Structure 1
Amino acid sequence: MKNLNLQIELVVNPSETVLELLYLSDPSKVHINSNLRSGSCYIAKVKSEIVGVIVLGNINSNTTEIKNIAVKESEQGKGIGKLLLRYAEDIIRKSGNKKLIIGTGNSSIGQLALYQKEGFEIESIKKDFFLRNYDEIIIENGIQCKHMIVLGKKL
């Protein structure tokens, strides 16, 4: 990971650019809007360009969920996702929560690798989650996204 000079900041009213980034992580406007209403949205910028976004929401007094995380396609593979995950961990530790969880699709090969490299472990599988909760079929990496893989990390 080279020095990115990445700045991360909380945003209250996400711009259209932020929303477009979030749609990379979840094609459902309904889910994105729900996550933004119930969570906190942070953007990552290099200079003045928005390159990443992460949305965090508390599950209970001990656990926070990464509701969404996305990196601009042209900026992927540069370590921005790792830095956003680590930033989230720092925020959660400071809040006193002890656990961070994230869910992703069974077809999200790159994300599954990244999360496990960052210390997350598979905890459960929500069978048919994407079939039940999304109107459109999701195909990623040539695989139909059907199940949510839930990963957790104790802090």
Structure 2
Amino acid sequence: MKTYLRRGECYVAELNHEIIGVYVLLPTRPETVELVNIAVMESRHGQGIGKQLVLHAIKTAKVSGYKTIEVGTGNSSVGQLYLYQKCGFRIVGVDRDFFVRHYPEVIYENGIHCRDMIRLSQDL
């Protein structure tokens, strides 16, 4: 995350002076930004905060002059895949075995082996 913070901009959601969510917008190519490191405090899951963060990221990217916003998530991240598509992202590719190549430990989520990075994109 430290390298992302040096290259991108971090946004924080607060409630009563408590950080409840964060995300980073990371420029990747001309006119393109990637939404990375989205996180919501576990006790705040299911309250629509993730959706608000994603929609804020889309609006911020557009106002900042980007033409495309991208995001990636694991094949096993069914909730995130649902959220991103609901917020207007479209699946544009699959980076096969991404998590196998880049993470030493095996990842399981929702009873599914997380192997592939699902890439999504949205024109702004």
Report the TM-score, using the length of structure 2 for normalisation. Answer: 0.95
C-alpha deviation, 1:109, in angstroms: 0.6
1:127 aligns with 2:96: yes
Cα deviations by residue, 1:54-103 (Å, 9 ceiling, x for unpaired) = 01100122110012101111101111111111111121111111111000
Residue 116 of structure 2 is aligned to residue 138 of structure 1? no
Q: How many residues are treated as equivalent by the alignment?
A: 124
How many Å separate the matches in 2 of 1:143 and 1:37? Answer: 33
- Where in structure 1 do 4 or more consecutive aligned residues deviate above 2 Å? none
Shift of 1:115: 0.4
TM-score, normalised to structure 1, is 0.77
Unaligned stretches of 5+ in structure 1? 1-31
Distance 2:74 2:11 in 1: 22
CA RMSD of superposed structures (Å)? 0.9
1:148 aligns with 2:117: yes
Partner residue, 1:114 = 83
Question: What is aligned with 1:41?
Answer: 10
Answer 1 or 2: higher relative contact order, Cα 8 Å, separation at least 6: 2
> Are residues 1:53 and 2:22 paired?
yes
Q: CA deviation at 1:154?
A: 0.8
Name the structure with the higher strand share.
Answer: 2
* Cα displacement (A) at 1:106: 0.3
- Structure 2 gaps of 5+ residues are none
